[in-house]
């Protein structure tokens, strides 16, 4: 947990420093919905291309998740529509005291997505993820099926701040 907090602090410092140096070419946005919050830092490369990195924290029904997006490439189709792709690292935690004990899962994923940013601060995102490396760590001595959902397609709707 200390490493995650340190990574978040480092990301925040670099983001604030980057915004001071290149105010017009970079920005920090916060995306939120009832299940997650994302900090997304974008650096504009040209009129249509940008690099982005981010950190996301989410709480699904049966697990908590921390996602790190080290570097993704983003293409702006129009002012509101954009497509993006790149690697993602994710750590999930679930606690089920009845049968399977506490479990965690580390994943290295590739992602492709499309986002629509509405004028009023709302967004919609369709995301396709494919696992490159996935390892589950159960905290008990007997084998139980993994409680983690393996859905490759995700739809997010929420607010942008």
CA distance 157 to 43: 23
pLDDT (tens digit per residue) in 6-42: 445 445 545 544 444 444 577 888 888 888 889 999 9
Query: Cβ(90)–Cβ(106) under 8 Å?
Result: yes
Query: Cβ(7)–Cβ(68) under 8 Å?
Result: yes
Q: According to the model, what pLDDT value does residue 146 have?
A: 57
Query: What is the model's pTM?
Result: 0.71
pLDDT (tens digit per residue) in 112-140: 999 998 877 888 999 999 989 888 777 66
Task: Tell me which fold the domain 2-160 belongs to.
Answer: Porin (2.40.160)
pLDDT (tens digit per residue) in 52-65: 999 999 887 777 88
Q: Is the pLDDT of residue 147 over 60?
A: no
In the DSSP assignment, the letter for residue 112 is E
Q: How do the residues of the chain divide into helix, strand and coil, expressed in percent and rounded to 5?
A: 10, 60, 25
E strand or H helix at 8: helix 2-21
């Amino acid at each position: 947990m200390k490493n995650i907090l340190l990574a978040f602090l480092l990301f925040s410092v670099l983001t604030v420093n980057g915004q001071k140096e290149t105010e017009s070419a970079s920005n920090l946005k916060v995306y939120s919905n009832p299940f997650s919050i994302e900090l997304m830092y974008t650096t504009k490369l040209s009129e249509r291309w940008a690099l982005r990195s981010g950190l996301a924290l989410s709480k699904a029904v049966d697990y908590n998740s921390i996602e790190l997006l080290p570097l993704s490439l983003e293409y702006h189709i129009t002012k509101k529509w954009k497509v993006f792709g790149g690697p993602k690292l994710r750590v999930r935690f679930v606690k089920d005291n009845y049968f399977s004990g506490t479990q965690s899962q580390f994943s290295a994923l590739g992602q492709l997505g499309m986002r629509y940013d509405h004028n009023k601060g709302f967004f919609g995102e369709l995301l396709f993820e494919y696992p490159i490396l996935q390892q589950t760590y159960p905290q008990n001595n007997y084998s139980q099926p993994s409680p983690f959902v393996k859905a490759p397609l995700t739809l997010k709707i929420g607010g942008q701040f």
